[in-house]
Every structure is written in C-alpha cells, then in structure tokens.
Amino acid sequence: MSKRSSGIAAATRSGSDAPAGARAAVLAFLKERNGAGIAEVAEHLGVTYEGARLQVARLEKEGLIEKRVVRGRAPGRPLARYVLSRAGEHAFPKSYDELTIGLIDALTARLGPQALKDVLTEFTDRRVREWEPRLAGMSLKERIAALREIYGGDDPYMTVELGRGNLRLIERNCPFLNVASRRPALCSVTVSTLERLLGVKVVREERFQAGHGRCVFRVLADQPVDVRRFRFAFEPEAVPAPAG
C-alpha cells in the first residue's frame, strides 16, 4: 500500500469485511484521478470488475464517495464515474489548525489585541443568539443539561453534574484542542457564552491546557451576572495541574 493510502486507512475502517488497505487504495485512486469508473478501479487494484464494484458500493453506502453520471463521446449508455464526497475528502490530511492559528496571529499582529477581543466578542454574540431560543423558559438546571450539546448534538464526551451545590459541565473531548492548546484565548468564548446563557458566573476550574486531561466548567448559581451588559471577557491564566 502506498504511503498516501496508508495515511487514510484508519479513516476507512468500518464493520465491512473489506481490507482497509484496498478501501484506502480506492479513495486514494479517486483522489488522484478526480474520479474514475469501476473498470478503471478494477484495473488499478488488479482485481475483477465485480470485486471493484463491491468496494465502490461499500464506500458509496458509507457516504465517502458518490456517483456521477456522464455522457461519453460515443453514443450509447451514459457512464458512471465515482468521486470523493465531502466526507471522503475529510479522510485526507487537512491543516485547519495551522490555518486558524495563523489567522489569529495575523489579526493580532496587524490590528492589535483589542481587535482579537472584538472578533471573539462577535463570535460569542452569535453563539448566544443561536442558543437563546432553545433555552427559553428553562430553569437553570434544565439549561445546563441542554448546554451539554454546546459543541454538537448528543455529545457523548460532555457530561453534566447537577448535585446540590455542585453544578458542573465536564468536557472530556475538546473539538478545538489543537488550536486551543496553543491559543487558549479561544476557550474564553465558551466560558463567556455559558455565562451569558445561564445568567450566572461560570469558572473553568480544570482545563486541558493545564494538564488536567479535561475541562470542567463550574456553574456558580449564587453569583448572577448582568447579561444585558456582559459580553466577552478573557479567562484568568491557567494554573498547571500538580505533577503525579
């Protein structure tokens, strides 16, 4: 298997009994050729037409590739070609983290720290506007429970503790960790968003950047904030977790 194919093998493993190497090879071939027919896939893999058809059908069923019908130069039946879907494109290496960090640094260098704060304030405002209608009429505990999905629907890595005097959101998988570890100012968006939506003070008492292996947002129900005036604020600096 080529180096490029091996790099995407993990992304193409599933419950299928097809070898991951062959599946990755099909994706890599379609990527290089910008699409191909089943006969071309069969020739590239050195397998029968039926074997290639099964590989292609599995990848199409999983949403990694999609069929496009094109008319050939000669009259006759239209040809079916298969190309990567958007999900399939994401099986290949991307550099979103470096792009985001570069944009943050360029913005700060060009326009100054206040410009970064202004942008994060606008980002926070947009998230609040998105969530406010969903939380209308809910109690504090109901809002906290709903906000476990702040990063995505039915997030299995965000849990809620709603004990007496112990209101916490516990995040075990940060979807922005690579960027947030290097530019932790982004995490202040989450804290500020939670405070705006809950109407009380929120403190991130554990954080990935400090070596805790998770982020824990404690909700201080007895410390209300004026949501009409509050917009965005940077968090205090992180305190490293004790060794051992």
Q: What's the gap between Cα 157 and its chain centre?
A: 13
For the chain (length 244 residues), average pLDDT per consecutive 10?
44 42 90 93 94 94 91 70 91 88 95 94 93 94 89 80 85 90 90 94 92 93 88 73 51
Tell me the C-alpha distance between 160 and 140, whole Å: 13
pLDDT of residue 179: 92
Give the pLDDT score at 18: 42
Sequence-distant (≥ 6) Cβ neighbours of residue 8 within 8 angstroms:
24, 27, 28, 91, 92
Residue pair 120/108 in contact (Cβ under 8 Å)? The answer is no
Fold of the CATH domain 3-89:
Arc Repressor Mutant, subunit A (1.10.10)
Among the listed residues 179, 14, 169, 24, the one whose alpha carbon sits nearest the alpha carbon of residue 88:
24
The predicted structure's pLDDT at residue 12? 43
Is this prediction's pTM over 0.95?
A: no
Q: Residue 196 — left, alpha, or beta (φ > 0 → left; ψ -120 to 50 → alpha)?
A: alpha
Domain locations in the chain? 3-89, 112-224
Distance CA 64, CA 80 (A): 16
